[in-house]
Amino acid sequence: MAVLYHNPRCSKSRSAVALCEASSQSVAVRLYLTDPLNKSELLDVLSRLEQPLSSSIRMKDPKFKLVDSTSLDPDNLHSVVEFLSLHGHLMERPLYDNGVISVIGRPVELLAPHL
């Protein structure tokens, strides 16, 4: 089953939920802030990411400046997994994963071909 990693406070993420609900595909919604992904799950999902790996991190978020990112290599899978396992609130959303491909829904229309 496909999963949408969702933050209900984000308008783009809410739009992605609506898009999933309107599709014929069954999509589970996971609130990743209250149910964080572990390292294994992050590795699995991010290894299938269609976009550049660096796009999975909210680097423009003001909270990014508050965390230690000195060891982060945004183009290295294991570095990103380690970073997001510590700072899951900085994972870009919405993030859709169907087990074959993962897509960040920015813009949300990027999800449509996969639904």
- Beta strands of 1-115 (E only): which ranges? 2-6, 27-31, 95-97, 102-104
Omega within 30 of 0 (cis) for the link into 113: no
Report which of 109, 55, 65 is spatially closest to residue 87, judged by C-alpha positions: 65
* Whether residue 20 lies in the annotated active site: no
The SS3 of residue 91 is strand
Active-site pick, 10, 33, 43, 67: 10
Pairing of strands 95-97, 102-104: antiparallel
Q: Which residues are catalytic?
A: 10
